[in-house]
């Protein structure tokens, strides 16, 4: 198989930026080349440092002056909510009961699940996202459809069937035993198949009985390498309900703590209204707080406190949370994230944002040994961005003098239209989608 060389301006992170001017945290090559073979990155360097010599033997794709980055990573998204996006509601519980819990019932139909899974993967690719942590519906066939689609495209994905056995319509409920059996069968079939990883997914404490929580705990014990994903402390009404359902436990995070669901592979969506004790438990267990800015603003849930999390050494991921979230784009997500933090009086520099979308989220998923950075041996998932893709951005770029300004413009004004190409395991995937 011949090598493929992507030529362009290469940007990849090596560590978490310590402030806006931490130039040691990333590697930037003005005229760079990424050499790809059999789905993996073979080398990364300057174009003129010898790579030009092998070029005649390789398939060269010239993306200059495009910016080549690791593919974006989304750490929390619901694929059965593609047709829920943009639904008008007062708050989280109304939004769930009026739209989401109705829509997700359609995923008992394998044909519907397969159709939406394909459209979902298309949408991620269109927006430059190559990996996501995905909630399926309660139906095992929804997870089957999603994994089959991701496997066919050779995408690195984390996903799981939602476990929920109460406080939702009957068409959306399993039982503790059924949720356990189906999750276990899916884990055995898909966890580690190709580039797929399974996430044990009790939706949240409101829809899982104590018996189901125990079953989820049993799965975590049996499959210690699997991820765990759920929601916590998103809205005040939800928190009050969780406390009512588990009156003997100290707080909402304490419910997941009690059932042994916390740890370095655990992703907790939202984490907005947190007590000091809860933050301490996240830090102690290495669990990840997932910041979902477009969703938190859209549903009106509240403002994530990044500085407080960082001060307590809590690991942080960032995510779209479609369909509560309003965009599939990680650029739009970090733009809204920036605004949330502005309202909190906190700073988020462009290099921190781009770290979060790539290596930061790879670390949050514990997958930074395979994705999130452009380095030899890594899986060749990449995105190519063009900060001059739109007329108003092109005009602004006449004034931009630094990489940091370019990144900030991409985040502030960019969306899928600035994504020139998305590479999945070394193959150009966006061009194939058409417009």
Contact residues toward Zn ion (CB under 5 A) are 269, 321
Considering the complex, state which of residue 182 and residue 321 has its C-beta at the smaller distance from Zn ion.
Answer: 321
In the three-class reduction of DSSP (H, G, I as helix; E, B as strand; rest coil), residue 355 is classed as: helix
**Cβ atoms of 89 and 98 closer than 8 Å:** yes
Phi, psi of 87 (to 5 degrees): -100, 135
Pairing type for strands 382-385 and 59-70 reads antiparallel
User: CB of residue 202 vs Zn ion: minimum separation in angstroms?
Assistant: 13
User: CB of residue 231 vs Zn ion: minimum separation in angstroms?
Assistant: 6
DSSP label at 71?
Answer: P
Considering the complex, state which of residue 254 and residue 269 has its C-beta at the smaller distance from Zn ion.
Answer: 269
Q: Tokens 């198949």, residue? A: 193
Considering the complex, state which of residue 293 and residue 426 has its C-beta at the smaller distance from Zn ion.
Answer: 293
* CB-based burial, 166-178: b 16+ in 10 Å, e otherwise: ebbeeebbbebeb
CA 85 to chain centroid: 17
User: CB of residue 21 vs Zn ion: minimum separation in angstroms?
Assistant: 34
* CB-based burial, 405-416: b 16+ in 10 Å, e otherwise: ebbbbbbbbbbb
User: CB of residue 328 vs Zn ion: minimum separation in angstroms?
Assistant: 14
Considering the complex, state which of residue 321 and residue 352 has its C-beta at the smaller distance from Zn ion.
Answer: 321
Question: Which value, to the nearest 10 degrees, does the dihedral of the CA atoms of residues 36, 41, 43, 47 take?
Answer: 50
Question: Which H helix or E strand runs over 390?
Answer: none
User: CB of residue 96 vs Zn ion: minimum separation in angstroms?
Assistant: 10
Considering the complex, state which of residue 274 and residue 387 has its C-beta at the smaller distance from Zn ion.
Answer: 274
CA 50 to chain centroid: 36
User: CB of residue 325 vs Zn ion: minimum separation in angstroms?
Assistant: 8
Tokens of 321: 């949370």
User: In the Cβ-directed half-sphere of 21, how many Cα atoms lie within 13 Å?
Assistant: 0
CA 206 to chain centroid: 23
Question: Which H helix or E strand runs over 407?
Answer: helix 403-413
Considering the complex, state which of residue 269 and residue 293 has its C-beta at the smaller distance from Zn ion.
Answer: 269
Considering the complex, state which of residue 92 and residue 403 has its C-beta at the smaller distance from Zn ion.
Answer: 92
DSSP notation for 161-214: PEE--SSS-GGG---HHHHHHHHHHHHHHHTTSTTEEEEEEE--GGG--HHHHH
Question: Which value, to the nearest 10 degrees, does the dihedral of the CA atoms of residues 276, 335, 124, 373 take?
Answer: -80
Considering the complex, state which of residue 330 and residue 410 has its C-beta at the smaller distance from Zn ion.
Answer: 330
Considering the complex, state which of residue 321 and residue 421 has its C-beta at the smaller distance from Zn ion.
Answer: 321
User: CB of residue 99 vs Zn ion: minimum separation in angstroms?
Assistant: 13
User: CB of residue 92 vs Zn ion: minimum separation in angstroms?
Assistant: 10
User: CB of residue 106 vs Zn ion: minimum separation in angstroms?
Assistant: 18
Tokens of 365: 């998923």
User: CB of residue 76 vs Zn ion: minimum separation in angstroms?
Assistant: 6
Distances (CA, A) of 55 to 4, 5, 33, 61: 9, 7, 10, 10
Considering the complex, state which of residue 144 and residue 234 has its C-beta at the smaller distance from Zn ion.
Answer: 234
């Amino acid at each position: 198989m011949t090598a493929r060389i992507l030529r362009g301006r290469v940007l990849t992170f090596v560590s978490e930026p310590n402030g806006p001017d931490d130039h040691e945290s990333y590697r930037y090559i003005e005229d760079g080349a990424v050499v790809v073979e059999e789905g993996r990155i073979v080398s990364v360097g300057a174009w003129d440092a010898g790579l030009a010599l092998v070029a005649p033997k390789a398939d060269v794709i010239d993306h200059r002056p495009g910016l080549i980055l690791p593919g974006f990573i989304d750490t929390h998204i619901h694929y059965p909510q593609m047709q829920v996006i943009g639904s008008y509601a007062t708050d989280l519980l109304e939004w769930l009961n009026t739209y989401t819990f109705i829509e997700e019932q359609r995923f008992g139909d394998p044909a519907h699940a397969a159709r939406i899974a394909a459209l979902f993967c298309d949408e991620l690719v269109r927006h430059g996202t190559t990996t996501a942590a995905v909630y399926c519906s309660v139906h095992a066939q929804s997870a089957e459809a999603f994994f089959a689609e991701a496997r066919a495209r050779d995408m690195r994905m984390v996903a799981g069937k939602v476990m929920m056995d109460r406080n939702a319509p009957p068409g959306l409920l399993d039982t503790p035993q059924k949720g356990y059996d189906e999750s276990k069968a899916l884990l055995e079939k898909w966890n580690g198949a190709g580039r797929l990883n399974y996430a044990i997914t009790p939706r949240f404490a409101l829809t899982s009985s104590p018996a189901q929580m125990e079953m989820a705990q049993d799965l975590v014990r049996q499959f210690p390498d699997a991820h765990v994903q759920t929601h916590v402390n998103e809205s005040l009404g939800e928190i009050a309900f969780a406390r009512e359902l588990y009156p003997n436990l100290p707080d909402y995070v304490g419910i997941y703590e009690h059932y042994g669901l916390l740890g370095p592979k655990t992703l907790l969506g939202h984490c907005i209204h947190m007590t000091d004790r809860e933050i301490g438990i996240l830090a102690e267990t290495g669990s990840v707080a997932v910041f979902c800015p477009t969703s938190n603003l859209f549903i009106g849930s509240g403002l994530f406190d990044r500085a407080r999390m960082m001060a307590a050494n809590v690991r942080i991921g960032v995510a779209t949370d479609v369909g509560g979230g309003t965009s599939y784009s990680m650029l739009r997500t970090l733009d809204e994230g920036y605004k949330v933090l502005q309202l909190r009086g906190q700073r988020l520099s462009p290099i921190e944002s781009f770290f979060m979308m790539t290596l930061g989220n790879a670390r949050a998923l514990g997958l930074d040994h395979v994705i999130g950075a452009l380095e030899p041996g890594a899986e060749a998932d990449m995105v190519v961005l063009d900060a001059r893709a739109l007329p108003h951005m092109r005009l602004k770029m006449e004034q931009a003098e630094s990489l940091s300004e370019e990144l900030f413009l991409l985040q502030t004004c960019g969306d899928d239209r600035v994504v020139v190409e998305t590479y999945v395991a070394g193959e150009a995937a966006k061009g194939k989608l058409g417009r």
